[in-house]
Amino acid sequence: MYTAVKASWALLLSMALLMLGNGLQGSLIGLRATLEGFSTQWAGFLMSGYFVGFLLGSTLTPKIVSQVGHIRVFAALASLASTLALIHSVFIDPTLWFAMRVVTGFCMAGIYIVAESWLNDLATNQTRGQLLSVYMVIMIGGMAAGQLLLNLADPGGFQLFILISVLLSLALLPVLLSVAPAPSFAASDAMGLRQLYRSSPLGVSGCMVVGLSNGAVVGMGVIYAELIGFPLADISLFMGLVLLGSVVLQWPIGQLSDRLDRRWVILVVTALAALMALLAIPASHLSTSSLLVVAFLFGGLSFPMYSLCVAHTNDNLEPRQMVAASSSLVLAVGIGAALGPAVAAAVMELQGPNGLFAFLALVHGVLGVFALYRMTRRRAVPLADQGLCVAIPPAASPVAMAMVQEASGGHVDALGERPDEPISAVAGAEDGQG
């Protein structure tokens, strides 16, 4: 493990700097949109633009890499993202900002694919899961620390945009100066989303719900905090604690899911996330500290759902299918994330700022009901046949997802062609999971 981290230190340092800048930029754009008088709905569209671009980048970047090469793609995309950050401070136009958010999302997706290809090349079967965990902590930790940088200057000025550009530019140096060889890269065969849904309806639906929830929180959280009257220091702390909670609770939730029927863990965790979202509404009227505690717990419950749903999906796939399923899992999450900020913004327009948490409670509650329904349709996978729950970064590319599939070690036969049957009708048959 130590050897793998040592070999990848330059890459991990670059990603830490990138996430500092990207985390700061996401919150700054949302906060600045409200300061410039953009409507809540338009701000939601702005924040959705990033995830639209991310989805496009996840799909198209592998083709670009195969033609141009890893290092050139990494340098070009990081430079473009750095330039776009500066343009935000010069031209204050909602339509232009939306277009730039789409391109920024595209750039970040491409950067992740290149970085995660390097990471995968440096990992072995024994270290892949641990290296992914380190990578996830650096990614989320960088995003959380980026929130605190909001306090360094006036969000209404240009200084923070310059800081973002500097961080994104500095992130180039460790990778470009590294002597590590460029990784081999080969796109895997894709498994269609419909076929994957037939294999694991709960896993795919859960990934989409996680996208809705995480996209809404990351995109609209800072706008929510500003609308309820938080000062800048509390806004940054609010967003930082949401992200920090996901790091703290990821490991115990994942360990629990490896020891119990994973569907029950998904049900309990999503129900608790819905409860925390509901509690956030009265907490916002009580005190700042109570809302911050609830935000920490909500992030700790909501974000790890991604890893749970991917692990559950793997439980229903043959090992040879797992890597092929990675692109469809990213697609499911990406669709949800692209819709999340815009839909949450619409709810906030109707119900006020607390409409954000009403929306989050609804989506997690619906997932819990669907989990209960799926448990009536198929038996659980035996614990001995469940794969490992591997920590996943909040914005995983198909490459990172493929690494997760390889590290999870699933052993269950595919259920893609098997129709749903009541539990009573499959007694004595090979167990399957919803």
**CATH at 146:** 1.20.1250.20
Residue 218's identity, in one-letter code, is V
User: Does residue 338 lie within any of the structural domains?
Assistant: yes
Domain coverage including residue 121 = 2-177+191-416
Structure tokens at 145: 């620390």
User: Does residue 423 lie within any of the structural domains?
Assistant: no
pTM over 0.95: no
User: Does residue 210 lie within any of the structural domains?
Assistant: yes
Number of structural domains the chain divides into: 1
pLDDT at 261: 81
Residue 186 scores a pLDDT above 60? no
SS3 letters across the chain: CHHHHHHCHHHHHHHHHHHHHHHHHHHHHHHHHHHCCCCHHHHHHHHHHHHHHHHHHHHHHHHHHHHHCHHHHHHHHHHHHHHHHHHHHHCCCHHHHHHHHHHHHHHHHHHHHHHHHHHHHHCCCCCHHHHHHHHHHHHHHHHHHHHHHHHHCCCCCCHHHHHHHHHHHHCHHHHHCCCCCCCCCCCCCCCCHHHHHHHCHHHHHHHHHHHHHHHHHHHHHHHHHHHCCCCHHHHHHHHHHHHHHHHHHHHHHHHHHHHCCHHHHHHHHHHHHHHHHHHHHHHHHHCHHHHHHHHHHHHHHHCCHHHHHHHHHHCCCCHHHHHHHHHHHHHHHHHHHHHHHHHHHHHHHHHCCCHHHHHHHHHHHHHHHHHHHHHCCCCCCCHHHCCCCCCCCCCCCHHHHHHHHHHHCCCCCCCCCCCCCCHHHCCCCCCCCC
Structure tokens at 90: 């010069």
Span 4-15, average pLDDT: 76
User: Integer distance in angstroms from the first to the last C-alpha of the chain?
Assistant: 34
pLDDT at 298: 96
Rounded Cα distance between 82 and 387, Å, is 40
Residues 330-366: tens digit of each pLDDT:
888 888 999 999 999 999 999 999 999 999 999 999 9
Residue 83 scores a pLDDT above 80? yes
Q: Are 267 and 374 in contact (CB under 8 A)?
A: no
Rounded Cα distance between 300 and 289, Å, is 17
Residue 430 scores a pLDDT above 70? no
Question: In which residue are the tokens 């970085």 written?
Answer: 115
Residues 28-48: tens digit of each pLDDT:
999 999 888 888 888 898 899
User: Does residue 184 lie within any of the structural domains?
Assistant: no
Whole-number percent of the chain with pLDDT over 90: 36
Whole-number percent of the chain with pLDDT over 70: 80
Residues 227-237: tens digit of each pLDDT:
999 999 999 99
Query: Which tops the pLDDT comparison, 220 or 176?
Result: 220
Lowest mean pLDDT among 92-96, 118-122, 196-200, 304-308: 118-122
Q: Rounded to 5 degrees, what angle do the CA atoms 330, 96, 354 make?
A: 65
pLDDT at 75: 86
User: Does residue 389 lie within any of the structural domains?
Assistant: yes
Span 252-272, average pLDDT: 87
Lowest mean pLDDT among 52-66, 133-147, 383-397: 383-397
User: Does residue 422 lie within any of the structural domains?
Assistant: no
Question: In which residue are the tokens 């633009």 written?
Answer: 49
User: Does residue 113 lie within any of the structural domains?
Assistant: yes
User: Does residue 421 lie within any of the structural domains?
Assistant: no
Residue 61 scores a pLDDT above 90? no
Span 144-172, average pLDDT: 91
Rounded Cα distance between 250 and 25, Å, is 25
Cα 50 from chain centroid (whole Å): 12
Residue 84 scores a pLDDT above 80? yes
